[in-house]
Amino acid sequence: MVKLLEAKRFVDMETGCSYRYVNSKTEYFRIHTHDYYEIFIMLEGEATHYINGDEKTLFPMQAIFIRASDAHNYAPISEEPFSFLNITFTKETLDSVFSYLGEGYPKRMLMKAKSSPAVKLTSVEFEAISHEMEKIRAILPEDAKRRQTAIRVLLIKLFADVFENYVPEEKGTPEWLKALIDKMESEMNFEGGIARMVELSGKSREHLTRTMRKHLGKSPSELVNELRLNYIANMLLNSNHKILDIVLGAGFNTVSYASVLFFKRYGMSMSAFRKNDVANAGSYKGN
């Protein structure tokens, strides 16, 4: 029988959110659902996650979002214990986070995914979360309001910086490719172009191209140009830098080539785009 865990027992109802460190050596696990939501982050060891009838392997630096309807359980893979950080929160808290993130956030994708959304954290993300938790643990136990704010800030960061990058497993995108795309969004990487992308992937250019076309429907050069154009558009709207400096900063060698790609995507020149009302920036041909 699936046990229902209730928020009134596992969530601080005054703040709408709680956290708990869990070690498998001193925990009894059983299949359960909730009337609340949770995110757990694997800290040490490996485990089997039984979730909605499937089995997934859990490993360190992995973040998993559990919806209220998810039925799940944990089991150790070996005699070695595993541990995780568990953050629990009410529907009202989750609604507040999604409301803050706005209509552009892929809320539906996370809520409707067949399996619980899981994302491999980068070392930078893991360290940032650990640092936030250090600050939360330093808050006086009786200071509920400050603790509520701190945990909500962490939740916003998790959803905005981590789970926004979730790709449903049904698409079959390899983990290494998802991690690569995440890395390529950094200016220092997309500026380096395809050569940097191949270097980060650890694959041959041919293998990378085949895999990207299969799973993303685009080539490495198309992705690099897309990221560079995103950078240019944002800098045109949100800086007073010279167009030449913006184009070179994006990684293009010439303004002429960048201008052709920019016009093809936005239907106007870079200077016209900059003069346009920001409110109209979404009405370009690429939408």
- Mean pLDDT, to the nearest integer, of 114-130? 90
Q: Which two tokens stand for residue 8?
A: 């009134």
Whether the CB-CB separation of 126 and 154 falls below 8 Å is answered with no
Domain 3-166 sits in CATH at 2.60.120.280
Nearest to 190 by CA among 217, 182, 164, 237: 182
Q: How far apart are CA 62 and CA 42, in angstroms?
A: 5
What residue has token string 């060891």? 45
26-73 confidence digits (pLDDT tens): 988 889 999 999 999 999 999 999 999 888 889 999 999 999 989 999
Mean residue pLDDT across the chain: 90
Q: How far apart are CA 271 and CA 273, in angstroms?
A: 5
CATH superfamily for 172-280 is Homeodomain-like (1.10.10.60)
Which H or E run contains 108? Answer: helix 107-112
Nearest to 133 by CA among 97, 166, 96, 158: 158
pLDDT of residue 285: 45
The model carries a pTM of: 0.64
Q: What's the distance, CA 133 to chain centroid?
A: 18
Which H or E run contains 181? Answer: helix 175-184
- List phi, psi (to 5°) of 93: -65, -45
- Mean pLDDT, to the nearest integer, of 175-202? 91
Angle between the N-to-C axes of helices 144-157 and 123-137, in degrees from 0 to 180, rounded to the nearest 10: 170
- Could you tell me which residues come within 8 angstroms of residue 23 by beta carbon, excluding any fewer than 6 positions away? 81, 82, 83
From the CB of residue 244, how many other CB atoms can be counted at a distance below 10 Å?
10
- Mean pLDDT, to the nearest integer, of 98-127? 91
Q: Which two tokens stand for residue 142?
A: 């009786």
Q: How far apart are CA 197 and CA 177, in angstroms?
A: 10
Q: Sign of dihedral through CA atoms 144, 150, 153, 157? A: negative
258-285 confidence digits (pLDDT tens): 999 999 999 999 999 998 854 454 554 4
pLDDT surpasses 60 at 111: yes
pLDDT of residue 280: 55
- Domain coordinates of the chain in residue numbers? 3-166, 172-280
Give the percent of the chain with pLDDT over 90. Answer: 72
Whether the CB-CB separation of 43 and 175 falls below 8 Å is answered with no
Q: How far apart are CA 276 and CA 36, in angstroms?
A: 45
Q: How far apart are CA 160 and CA 27, in angstroms?
A: 31
- Mean pLDDT, to the nearest integer, of 9-25? 95
